[in-house]
């Protein structure tokens, strides 16, 4: 097997191991359970503000089954437009496999967690991992996988923003604990990496034609510009939330566990999408150089040999 499928398989195993570690820390360690509950209690205070609750709920519903199906069909269509039929076949397998696995893990790993929200005890019998978080992150990662090399940085930023916004909304509404969101992200990453490895192995057996003179596509937006744009969007969202619900927001920011949970969700979302974009971009450039080298004409072979002179009879 080539190096790239093996590397992607190793990353998939690492992602699965990280998911197991999150599950054990959140459900198997008493201190982890307490911190998880405290973080969600602080987050849920923001969504309790009447001006923000409809907007936050609308963000959470972006990962419902209907948007997930529409997003999957659009990604399949994009892969077909790019003449990547193997990728078009694997995208629904990745998204379907990740979300089906999440729905199977919930009852299999069900553990009752009683958390007090708004003065009322709320029971979470089987919420790990989050299905909405899995749906949002699987779409985000498949978007990074499907688009061309030049658009991958932008796709990573947009996909991470979508998945992180859904994750924050789920915790703020009290639908899921932070560990549920992290688990959903990692389940989606595991299946995406497995699918990317399978795609690399299949395309190695059936290489596609690449014009030898075509240079590697460069990103239309620089990485510093994307970082500045993402920081500006985060700052703008923070200002809007602070203006709409100043008391609730300041109360949440006073909780260290809420800050750590928020940073953890955001960091993992950005790491997964940006990491996949970096892996795909590096491999695309390597494949292009290898194919160009194979198709480059050999100057020595182009020299015609002169026919041997016949001896005079």
Average pLDDT over residues 234-261: 57
Q: Tokens at residue 14, please?
A: 């690492």
- What is the distance between the alpha carbons of residues 67 and 282, in angstroms, rounded to a whole number? 31
- Return the closest-CA partner of residue 36 out of 227, 176, 162: 176
- N- to C-terminal Cα distance for the chain? 61
pLDDT of the residue at 227:
56
Per-residue tokens: 251? 């109360």
The pLDDT of residue 255 is 67
259-281 pLDDT tens trace: 788 889 988 998 999 899 888 86
Burial, 223: exposed, middle or buried (Cβ in 10 Å; 0-12, 13-18, 19+)? Answer: exposed
Is 157 exposed, middle or buried (CB count within 10 Å of its CB: 0-12, 13-18, 19+)? buried
Residue 196 has pLDDT above 70, yes or no: yes
Residue 209, CA distances (Å) to 3, 82, 291 in order? 21, 12, 9
Residues 36 and 229: beta-carbon distance below 8 Å: no
The residue among 142 and 247 whose pLDDT is bigger is 142
Q: What is the mean pLDDT of the chain?
A: 78
If you write DSSP's letter for every residue of 238-258 in order, what string do you get? HHHHHHH-HHHHHHHHT-HHH
Residue 120: how many other CB atoms lie within 10 Å: 7
What are the pLDDT digits (tens) for 9-24? Answer: 999 999 999 999 999 9
Identify the pLDDT of residue 16: 97
pLDDT given at position 118? 52
Residues forming beta bridges with residue 265, ordered by sequence position: none
């Amino acid at each position: 097997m080539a190096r790239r499928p093996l590397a992607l398989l190793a990353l998939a195993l690492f992602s699965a191991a990280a998911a197991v570690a999150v599950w054990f820390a959140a459900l198997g360690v008493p201190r982890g359970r307490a911190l998880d509950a405290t973080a969600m209690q602080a987050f849920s205070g923001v969504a309790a503000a009447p001006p923000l609750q409809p907007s936050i709920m609308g963000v959470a519903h972006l990962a419902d089954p209907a948007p997930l199906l529409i997003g999957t069909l659009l990604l399949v269509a994009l892969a077909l437009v790019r003449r990547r039929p193997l990728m078009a076949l694997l995208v629904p397998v990745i998204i379907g496999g990740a979300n089906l696995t999440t729905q199977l893990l919930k009852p299999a790993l069900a553990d009752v967690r009683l958390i007090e929200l708004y003065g009322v005890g709320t029971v979470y019998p089987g919420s790990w991992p989050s299905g909405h978080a899995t749906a949002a992150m699987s779409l985000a990662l498949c978007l990074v996988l499907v688009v061309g090399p030049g658009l991958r940085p932008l796709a990573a930023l947009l996909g991470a923003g979508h998945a992180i916004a859904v994750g924050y909304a789920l915790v703020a509404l009290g639908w899921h604990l932070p560990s549920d969101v992290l688990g959903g992200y990692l389940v989606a990453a595991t299946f995406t990496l497995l699918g990317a490895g399978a795609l690399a192995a299949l395309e190695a057996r059936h290489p596609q034609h690449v014009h030898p003179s075509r240079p590697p596509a460069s990103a239309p937006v620089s990485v510093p510009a994307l970082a500045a744009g993402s920081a500006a969007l985060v700052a703008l969202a923070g200002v809007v939330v602070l203006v709409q619900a100043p008391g609730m927001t300041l109360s949440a920011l006073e909780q260290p566990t809420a800050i750590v949970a928020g940073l953890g969700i955001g960091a993992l979302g950005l790491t997964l999408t940006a990491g996949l974009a970096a892996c795909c971009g590096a491999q695309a450039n390597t494949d292009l150089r290898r194919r160009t080298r194979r198709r480059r004409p050999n100057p020595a072979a182009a020299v015609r040999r002169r026919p041997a002179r016949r001896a005079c009879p």
